[in-house]
């Protein structure tokens, strides 16, 4: 875990800060580690840290909590409900903040997911969700200060970890996670603007030269290497298998189709995005 605190206090909606503070107080009391994932994490990283406008703003908050079993998750849930911080919905993982009506998704990972890195939600255990990549994302998370008075520090995934979670989430729930495909494209198209372009010229000139000084292609290839350095081999293998399938014309280009949906000049865009996915795969393969 990265202990460097990035201070963006004053930039985040006070209601979101209040929701996160209340949840953090309970999680800290119970000794349960958690970090923010999903679209709000993307918004924090790109919009507020790197001043890159997000494709869309979100009113929801997604949280990953590290728990050993369903009993520990239930304890967290019961405490949040008893303190009237959150209210239940029909979905086992979805809650509503009692004051702001903000949607909060709480996703358990860690020992609860076992060797398969999958969870089956009680009581019927018919909803299965992959938590692959969550442990790596937590270990490599950045500490971000959302509020200075009083202090609120929250863990947010690094960009490589966020890309891991987006790709796995998309694959796990296709075709219902179209936004994950579009978020992944946003990450690929903007990684060079997160300080990576300067890094390419400083320490990765051979890579930049190989890509004929196309900083976007070089940065996506570097993103693949950064992803490989963050994740375990089993996670990397899963990511590579997904990408190999999704750049294969015979497999229908499902990811690409959702990535470019609604964009202008789809044919040109399609080829450009296909190239980005190939470079992402190349970067992971080079490092693993």
Q: Are residues 153 and 189 located together in one domain of the fold?
A: no
Q: Are residues 259 and 242 located together in one domain of the fold?
A: yes
What percent of the chain shows pLDDT beyond 90?
92
Mean pLDDT of the chain: 95
Q: How confident is the model at residue 4 (pLDDT cuts 50, 70, 90)?
A: low
CB-count exposure of residue 165 (10 Å: 0-12, 13-18, 19+): buried
Which CATH number belongs to the domain containing residue 117 in this structure? Answer: 3.30.460.10
Q: How confident is the model at residue 59 (pLDDT cuts 50, 70, 90)?
A: confident
Bridge partners (DSSP) listed for residue 118 = 130
Q: Which helix (H) or strand (E) holds 123?
A: none
Bridge partners (DSSP) listed for residue 144 = 6, 154
Distances (CA, A) of 281 to 160, 260, 284: 13, 19, 5
Q: Are residues 234 and 135 located together in one domain of the fold?
A: no
Q: Are residues 77 and 168 located together in one domain of the fold?
A: no
CB 89 within 8 A of CB 96: yes
Whether 80 has a pLDDT exceeding 80, the answer reads yes
What percent of the chain shows pLDDT beyond 70?
98
Q: Are residues 105 and 241 located together in one domain of the fold?
A: no
Q: How many domains does the chain have?
A: 2
CB-count exposure of residue 174 (10 Å: 0-12, 13-18, 19+): middle
- Domain finish residue from 133, 157, 181: 157
Q: How confident is the model at residue 271 (pLDDT cuts 50, 70, 90)?
A: very high
User: What pLDDT was estimated at residue 5?
Assistant: 79
* Phi (first) and psi of residue 149, to 5 degrees: -135, 110
63-73 average pLDDT score: 98
Alpha-carbon span 42 to 39, nearest angstrom = 5
User: What pLDDT was estimated at residue 265?
Assistant: 63
User: What pLDDT was estimated at residue 20?
Assistant: 98
Q: Are residues 141 and 177 located together in one domain of the fold?
A: no
125-134 average pLDDT score: 95
Q: Are residues 206 and 104 located together in one domain of the fold?
A: no
Alpha-carbon span 230 to 232, nearest angstrom = 7
Which domain, by its residues, includes 76?
5-157
Tens of pLDDT, residues 214-258: 999 999 999 999 999 999 999 999 999 999 999 999 999 999 999
Distances (CA, A) of 44 to 5, 47, 118, 154: 13, 6, 27, 11
Q: Are residues 150 and 252 located together in one domain of the fold?
A: no
Q: How confident is the model at residue 171 (pLDDT cuts 50, 70, 90)?
A: very high
């Amino acid at each position: 875990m990265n202990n460097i605190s990035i201070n963006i206090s004053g930039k985040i909606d006070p209601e979101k800060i209040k929701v996160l503070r209340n949840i953090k107080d309970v999680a800290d009391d119970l000794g349960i580690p958690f970090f923010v994932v999903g679209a709000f994490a993307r918004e924090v990283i790109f919009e507020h840290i790197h001043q890159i406008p997000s494709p869309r703003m979100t009113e929801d908050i997604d949280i990953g909590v590290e728990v050993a079993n369903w009993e520990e998750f239930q304890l967290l849930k019961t405490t949040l409900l008893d303190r009237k911080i959150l209210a239940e919905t029909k979905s086992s993982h979805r809650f509503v903040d009692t004051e702001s009506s903000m949607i909060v998704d709480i996703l358990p990972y860690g020992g609860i997911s076992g060797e398969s890195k999958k969870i089956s939600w009680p009581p019927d255990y018919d909803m299965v969700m992959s938590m692959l990549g969550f442990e790596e994302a937590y270990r490599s998370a950045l500490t971000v200060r959302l509020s200075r008075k009083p202090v609120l520090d929250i863990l947010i995934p690094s960009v490589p970890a966020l890309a891991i979670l987006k790709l796995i989430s998309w694959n796990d729930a296709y075709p219902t996670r179209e936004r994950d495909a579009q978020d992944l494209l946003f990450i690929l198209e903007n990684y060079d603007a997160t300080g990576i372009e300067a890094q390419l010229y400083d320490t990765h000139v051979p890579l930049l030269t190989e890509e004929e000084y196309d900083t976007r292609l070089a940065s996506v290839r570097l993103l693949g290497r950064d992803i490989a350095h963050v994740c375990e081999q089993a996670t990397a293998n899963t990511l590579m298998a997904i990408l190999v399938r999704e750049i294969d014309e015979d497999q229908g280009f499902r990811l690409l189709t959702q990535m470019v949906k609604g964009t202008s000049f789809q044919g040109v865009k399609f080829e450009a995005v296909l190239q980005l996915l190939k470079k992402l795969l190349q970067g992971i393969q080079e490092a693993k």
